[in-house]
Each structure stands twice: as C-alpha cells, then as structure tokens.
C-alpha cells in the first residue's frame, strides 16, 4: 500500500514542477534536458541577412533593418523566411546639406562635405545636416598683393604670395597659416626699417587681411603665440547658434574688450573669430605730416606726438567694421609714464598713404600707466602722447633769451678784438674771427628765427642758414686743429692762404647745404622749429659732417699732443713757444668738447624733448659765446693787455677830453707792440 502512495506522491511532485513531456513542445520551442524551452533563432548566423538586426521573442523572433536601411517589403518587422532584404536608403535624396555642400550616401548612412574652396564652420571634414554647419567660402584671393597699396617692399609681397599658396592647399589649418605669417613678419620686421608710411600701411593691411582667414581655418578654439616682434591672441567660437556676450583678449601691453555680437556682425556664418595682434616695440618713426596746414582734419601730425604704447591690430570675422554699433575698448599700457596729453589713434591708410588719425577714437580713461581707448571701427591702434610741450616751459625760454643775448655780446667783443687788435693778427686769429662770426650769426638767427614757423619758405631759409652757420662753426674749429697741427709738425711756413681758409671754412658748409637742399629741400623747416626735419634721417646732413669733423679734429689733436710731448723732451726745447702752443691746444680741445657735447644734447632736444636734455642743450648753446670769449680773449695774456691798454686809453681820453697827443701816443705804442709781437704770434 505505501508503495502505491509513493508513486502517487511522485506524480504529484512531477505535476508541481510543470514538466511537460517533450512531445507537446510548440513551434519555436525545443527540449532541453527533457524540458520545453524557447529557441533563440537569432543565434543562427545571418538569420535575418546582412544590414538587419534579429530580435528573439518567446517562441518566435523577428528581423528589423539597421538604421539607414529599409526592408524590401516595406515592413518594419519581418521574418527571414520571407526572402526579404534590407536595402540602403539614399538619404541624400531627402536631406539638404545646405548651400555649397554636397551629400554622399554611404552604406547605411550619409555625410555632408563642403565643396572645394569652402570650409565647414565647425572645421570637421564631414558633417550631418542637423548640425547647422555652414560651408563658408575661403577667400584666399583676399591675399592678392594687387589689392595692397603700390610701392610696397618685395618682402611684404612675398609674404602675401606665400600665405595665399598655403591658403589654397587642401586641408590647411589656421595654425599653419599663422605660423607662416608670424615667421615671415618676424624676418621682415627685423630687416626692414619702417621709414615710409606706405610700408607701414602695407604691413598693417597684410595682417588685417590674413587674420580673418586664420580665424576661419583655426582648429583650436583659442591660440596665443609670442615672438620677439609680434604677439597674437585669438579666440574662435564654432557653435550652431551665434555666440553673444562680452569677451576679452589680452597680451602683455594691450587688452581688447568687445562683444561677440561685434565679432559676428549681421549674418552668422557658423563661427566667429576675434584677434588681437600686437607688434612689440614697433618703431614707427616721425611720420611725415601734411605740408598744407589742414589742421582742421583729425589727422595727427607726428611732429607733435610720440607713440606711447605698443601698436595693435584688431581683426574679427565681421567684415563690416567701419561703423560698429558697440564701440570696442582697448586698454593700452604706456611705454613711458604719461605726463602730457594722451590721444587714442588708429592708422588711417586713406590719409596720403597713411597717418595716425583720431577719427572715431576717444580716450575713455587715462592714468600715468595706462589709457583706455574706445573706437567705433576696427583697424590698427595705438596711443600717442603729446610732444614738445617743453616749448612752453618759461624758465627754458628765459635761459635761452638771457644766455643767447649774453653770448651774442661776448661774441661781438671777440669779433671786434680779433678784427681790430693788430698786435694779435695771425692765421689763428683769422680762424677765431670767422668762428666767432659764424657762431654770432648762427646764434642771432637761432634767437630770432627758430620759432618763425608761420611762413614755410622763410622757415626753410632760416633752417638752411642755421645749417650753414652751425656747420661753418665746426669747419672753422677743424681749421684751428689743422693750424695747431701745422704749427707743431710743419714748423716752417705756418701761415695759410686766406683763400684756402675761406674755401674750407665757408665753402664746405655751403657745399653740404646745397647738396642737402637739392636732395631734399622739404627737409628744411618743421611745423615746430625752423630746423632740419628729423624724418628720413635728414638730420644726418648736419650730424654726419659734424661727426666727421670731430673725428678728424680728434686725430689732429692726438698727433699734435704727441708731437708736442716729443718736442718738450727734445734736447733743446723752445719752451716759450711750446708752452704757448700747449695752451692753444688745450683751449682748442676744450672748445671742441663743449661744441660736441652741446650737440649731443641737441640731438635729444629736437627729437624726444626730455626736460633735462633741453636744459643742458640750452645752457651750453647759450653760453658758447661766453666760453669762446673766456678761452680766447680773457685767458690770453696778450689780449688782456690790449684790453687794459684800451680801457686806460678810454679813461685817460675822457679825462684829457680827447687830447690828440694821447691818441698818437697810444697808437704808436700799439704799433711798436704789434711789431714786437708779430714774430711771436706767427709761430
């Protein structure tokens, strides 16, 4: 009985386990260890065919085409047994990649590509239609050198040609373009002096044209490069929607603040770039100012202003930057602490080949160390500082007037002494006389005419005369050195023919002035001073000869001094005359030093205008006549004696109420004295 009970229990347990006998498994089920289980049809290879996915269900399965494919029977789900295939969809039939792009269907997908000559705004080679990528034309032709102003250096044209050919290459990046631009400018700026406004204009144009192209091709979203002569900071935004809000770019010395709206402009091209290109210590010389006096215009005359910041070029993607809705701001660090008026300027290439202009730019804030400028257009910018306010320094004016007047009086006494006093006549005296005359006339013209700038022709004449007479002073000084040399070295025949003296003393300066004037007559007279123009190194028509004369003179003095030393040490020295020559030489050297030093300061006076230099120049210039008087008259015993005789003569004359006897006596004594002295003075 218990056996039957166990069998029943076994059946019961089997029933609880729900084990169905194998014969009863339905379609899609198989037996496993004697049980019915679902068959995974998808495990079989290629059940659904290529380009389709297989999905297993309980007791069945179905196929679906992979994305980008469609089933040949048009149904989404299908059975493999129905001989259905999944076919590639040609997405390009429906999808619009946008203008200047073409579509390429691939197996199961597609991509958009920009046509050649166009660049995708996101810098990817392939893109999808829904990415809002735009294909923008890469305008390499903007780098044509033909669009630049004429007469630009070959080196700059070469940069453009190189940039253009790089730009035309397939797959070029902005980084490569920028590298080429920077390297080329580096060698250009280190070799070519920026002497001409046309060169400066062309340089800025090259940079302004190249930067937007670099921005368009840049792979990174920002770049910062620094080389000895240039420095560039660039930001690029490549978003489907136009960026907005403020941004800031800064290099060491310039900070550029603006808004992305400004960089984008009216139509968003799918990207926007902004660049700050700073030239490091760009030396823009005194740029020619207009000859006609159109002071009404906004152009800045370089004779009155000096660059007081680095120069920076700003470029953005927006091509319409002539009138910006929101002005940009630039924060410039000063090159030197500003004590005078500051102006914000940009380089206007439309003004006679190029000049600084204030149009559309204004100073927002200025302190000693920096100036913030606001400008309503883009270009190359800088900060200028007013120059030559020194002219208004009253003390300097006073020193000049007083010193020059004193100088003129002393020179007049010298001239009268050298001319009238017979006892001291010699070749040296003649030289002194003409030196004094030249200096007298030069000082007189300086006093009266240096600021007479109203009349251009008059001013040029004043400048020419000053050029001539100051050169003559140096020539006569040189002749003195030559004469001393002859006195020591060629002891015999130490008189020089008057004609030779005149030719050397006045002919040489005249020749220099004539040549200078015929080469560049505009170089005479500036808007501030009637003196040589500092542009184009014209001032070297003065400093050049002066340097040569000083060097020649120094050589003569060296030989003279060494010969003198030899003679002092010789067996039988003529001590009396040698001592005299020694004194003459020391005087002459002292004079050369004073004249030379004065013009070293003078160099700075007309150029930079630092106060201390101006004081030194003015004081030395004013007191030159006094120095000549002291050195050649008061320190010479002979001349002193003559003065004493003259003074006593005058006083006795007054006492004796013009007695004829005394005059005779005095003139007799003069004659006898002069006879006595001729031998001595003509050594």
Ligand X SMILES: *[C@@H]1O[C@H](CO)[C@@H](O)[C@H](O)[C@H]1NC(C)=O
Q: Which parts of this chain interact with ligand X (CB under 6 A)?
A: 60, 62, 77-79, 83, 88, 90, 104-107, 173, 219, 255, 331, 333, 341, 367-370, 372, 386
Pair of tokens at residue 584:
């003459």
At closest approach, how far in Å is the CB of 83 from ligand X?
3
At closest approach, how far in Å is the CB of 71 from ligand X?
10
At closest approach, how far in Å is the CB of 611 from ligand X?
17
The three-state DSSP-derived secondary structure of 184-219 is HHHHHHHHCCCCCHHHHHHHHHHHHHHHHHHHHHCC
> Nearer Cβ to ligand X, position 283 or 391?
391
> Nearer Cβ to ligand X, position 49 or 596?
49
In three-state secondary structure terms, 676 is helix
> Nearer Cβ to ligand X, position 358 or 417?
358
At closest approach, how far in Å is the CB of 202 from ligand X?
30
> Nearer Cβ to ligand X, position 290 or 537?
290
> Nearer Cβ to ligand X, position 101 or 487?
101
At closest approach, how far in Å is the CB of 254 from ligand X?
9
At closest approach, how far in Å is the CB of 513 from ligand X?
34
**For residue 232, which of 307, 270, 294, 179 has the smallest C-alpha distance?**
179
- Using alpha carbons, list the distances in angstroms from residue 75 to 2, 84, 85, 157: 63, 10, 11, 65
Query: Residue 296 and residue 271: Cα distance in Å, rounded?
Result: 42
Q: Give the list of residues 6+ apart from residue 595 with CB closer than 8 angstroms, or none.
A: 473, 474, 477, 624
H helices of 490-610, where?
498-502, 508-519, 540-568, 575-607
Pair of tokens at residue 385:
């500082």
> Nearer Cβ to ligand X, position 170 or 655?
170
At closest approach, how far in Å is the CB of 341 from ligand X?
4
Pair of tokens at residue 375:
């400008």
At closest approach, how far in Å is the CB of 525 from ligand X?
22
Q: Which helix (H) or strand (E) holds 461?
A: helix 456-489
At closest approach, how far in Å is the CB of 239 from ligand X?
17
> Nearer Cβ to ligand X, position 47 or 186?
47
> Nearer Cβ to ligand X, position 151 or 281?
281
In the numeric block, the tokens 């106060």 are attached to: 611
Q: Is 186 left (phi over 0), alpha (psi -120 to 50) or beta?
A: alpha
Handedness of CA 656, 662, 667, 670 (dihedral sign): negative
Query: Residue 27 and residue 59: Cα distance in Å, rounded?
Result: 7
In three-state secondary structure terms, 609 is coil
Q: Give the list of residues 6+ apart from residue 628 with CB closer than 8 angstroms, or none.
A: 410, 411, 414, 432, 435, 436, 439, 591
Query: Residue 28 and residue 40: Cα distance in Å, rounded?
Result: 8
DSSP string for 58-92? TTEEEEEEPTTEEETTS-SEE-GGG---EEE--GG
> Nearer Cβ to ligand X, position 52 or 471?
52
**Cross-strand bridge partners of residue 65:** 52
At closest approach, how far in Å is the CB of 368 from ligand X?
5
Query: Residue 305 and residue 475: Cα distance in Å, rounded?
Result: 34
> Nearer Cβ to ligand X, position 298 or 333?
333
At closest approach, how far in Å is the CB of 515 from ligand X?
37
Q: Is 152 left (phi over 0), alpha (psi -120 to 50) or beta?
A: beta
> Nearer Cβ to ligand X, position 103 or 152?
103
At closest approach, how far in Å is the CB of 67 from ligand X?
14
At closest approach, how far in Å is the CB of 314 from ligand X?
16
> Nearer Cβ to ligand X, position 62 or 606?
62
Query: Residue 411 and residue 444: Cα distance in Å, rounded?
Result: 11
> Nearer Cβ to ligand X, position 47 or 88?
88
Query: Residue 321 and residue 265: Cα distance in Å, rounded?
Result: 8
**Cross-strand bridge partners of residue 375:** 328, 361
């Amino acid at each position: 009985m218990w056996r039957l009970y166990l069998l029943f229990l076994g059946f019961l347990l089997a029933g609880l386990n729900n084990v169905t006998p194998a014969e009863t498994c339905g379609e899609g089920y198989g037996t496993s260890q004697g049980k019915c289980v679902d068959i995974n049809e998808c495990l079989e290879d290629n059940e659904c065919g290529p380009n389709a996915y297989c999905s297993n269900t309980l007791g069945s399965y179905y196929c679906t085409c992979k994305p980008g494919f469609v089933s040949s029977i048009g149904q989404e789900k299908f059975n493999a047994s129905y001989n259905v295939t999944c076919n590639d969809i040609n997405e390009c039939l429906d999808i619009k990649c946008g203008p200047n792009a073409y579509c390429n269907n691939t197996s199961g997908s597609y991509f958009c590509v920009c046509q050649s000559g166009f660049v995708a705004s996101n810098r990817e080679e392939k893109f999808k239609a829904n990415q809002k990528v735009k294909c923008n034309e890469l305008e390499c032709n903007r780098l044509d050198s033909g669009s630049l102003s004429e007469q630009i250096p070959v080196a700059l044209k070469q940069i453009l040609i190189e940039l253009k050919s790089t730009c035309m290459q397939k797959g070029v990046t902005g980084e490569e373009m920028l590298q080429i631009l920077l390297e080329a400018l580096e060698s250009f700026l280190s070799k070519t002096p920026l002497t001409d406004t046309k060169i400066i204009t062309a340089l800025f144009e090259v940079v302004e044209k190249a930067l937007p192209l670099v921005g368009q091709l840049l792979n990174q979203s920002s770049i910062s490069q620094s080389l000895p002569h240039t420095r560039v900071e660039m930001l690029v935004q490549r978003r489907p929607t136009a960026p907005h809000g403020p941004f800031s770019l800064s290099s060491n010395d310039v900070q550029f603040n603006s808004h992305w709206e400004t960089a984008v402009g009216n139509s968003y091209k799918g990207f926007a770039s902004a660049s700050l290109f700073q030239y490091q210590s760009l030396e823009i010389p005194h740029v020619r100012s207009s000859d006609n006096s159109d002071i009404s215009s906004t152009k800045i005359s370089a004779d009155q202003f000096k660059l007081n910041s680095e120069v920076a070029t700003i470029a953005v993607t927006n091509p319409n930057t002539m009138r910006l809705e929101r002005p940009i701001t630039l924060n410039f660090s000063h090159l030197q602490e500003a004590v005078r008026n500051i102006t914000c300027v940009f380089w206007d290439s439309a003004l006679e080949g190029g000049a600084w202009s204030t149009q559309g730019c204004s100073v927002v804030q200025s302190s000693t160390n920096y100036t913030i400028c606001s400008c309503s257009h883009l270009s190359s910018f800088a900060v200028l500082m007013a120059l030559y306010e020194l002219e208004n320094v009253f003390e300097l004016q006073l020193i000049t007037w007083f010193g020059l007047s004193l100088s003129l009086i002393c020179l007049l006494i010298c001239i009268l002494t050298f001319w009238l006093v017979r006892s001291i006549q010699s070749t040296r005296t003649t030289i002194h006389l003409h030196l004094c005359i030249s200096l007298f006339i030069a000082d007189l013209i300086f006093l009266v005419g240096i600021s007479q700038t109203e009349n251009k022709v008059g001013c040029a004449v004043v400048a020419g005369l000053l050029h001539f007479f100051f050169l003559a002073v140096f020539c006569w000084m040189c002749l003195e050195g030559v004469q001393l040399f002859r006195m020591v070295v060629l002891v015999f025949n130490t008189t020089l023919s008057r004609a030779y003296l005149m030719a050397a003393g006045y002919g040489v300066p005249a020749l220099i002035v004539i040549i200078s004037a015929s080469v560049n007559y505009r170089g005479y007279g500036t808007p501030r001073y009637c003196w040589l123009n500092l542009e184009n190194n014209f001032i070297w028509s003065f400093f050049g000869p002066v340097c040569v004369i000083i060097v020649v003179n120094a050589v003569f003095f060296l030989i003279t001094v060494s010969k003198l030393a030899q003679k002092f040490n010789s067996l039988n020295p003529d001590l009396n005359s040698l001592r005299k020559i020694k004194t003459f030489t020391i005087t002459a050297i002292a004079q050369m030093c004073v004249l030379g030093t004065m013009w070293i300061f003078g160099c700075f006076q007309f150029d930079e205008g630092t106060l201390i230099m101006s004081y030194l120049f003015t004081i030395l210039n004013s007191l030159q006549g006094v120095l000549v008087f002291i050195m050649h008259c008061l320190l010479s015993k002979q001349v002193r004696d003559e003065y004493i005789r003259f003074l006593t003569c005058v006083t006795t004359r007054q006492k004796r109420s013009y007695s004829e006897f005394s005059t005779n006596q005095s003139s007799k004594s003069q004659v006898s004295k002069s006879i006595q002295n001729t031998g001595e003075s003509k050594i």
